[in-house]
Amino acid sequence: MPDEESRQYQINISGNRFSISSPHGEEHVREVEKFLDSQIKEVSEQTESYGPSSIALLVALNLADKLLTLQKRVSRFDGIEDDLESLSYKLEKVLEKG
């Protein structure tokens, strides 16, 4: 996908309007908006006594945890494609000899 120029979008998160810039298109921006809004609602329902800044921090902590977990999972697969190609090449060589 070619690099796109950033465009401005108006989003609404938990009743707060923001103007953001993104090169990823409106569909992606709306997905992010919907996802973040749902995360805030979920945390708010679980912790009604917290203020808005505490809720935002709890959402950030939850998302950071998810991000780090995904990064660890992905890092386990780094280089696996090269390993598979090497094994495939070695298997071909063994089969050619046989």
Compute CA 48 distance to the chain's CA centroid, rounded to the nearest angstrom.
27
Q: How far apart are CA 11 and CA 36, in angstroms?
A: 11
Report yes or no: 20 and 9 within 8 Å, Cβ to Cβ.
Answer: yes
State how many domains the chain has: 1
d(CA 49, CA 47): 6
pLDDT tens across 29-75, in order? 999 999 999 999 999 988 877 788 899 999 999 999 999 999 988 88
pLDDT attached to residue 36: 94
- The verdict on residue 37 lying in a domain is yes
pTM equals 0.68
Instruction: Please give the residue range of the domain that contains residue 34.
Output: 7-97
93 part of a folded domain: yes
Distance CA(18)–CA(68), nearest Å, equals: 27
Per-residue exposure over 18-45, b if at least 16 CB sit within 10 Å of its own CB, e if not: eeeeeeeeeeebeebbeebbebbeebee
What pairs with residue 13 in β-bridges?
16
Considering the domain boundaries, does residue 2 fall inside one?
A: no
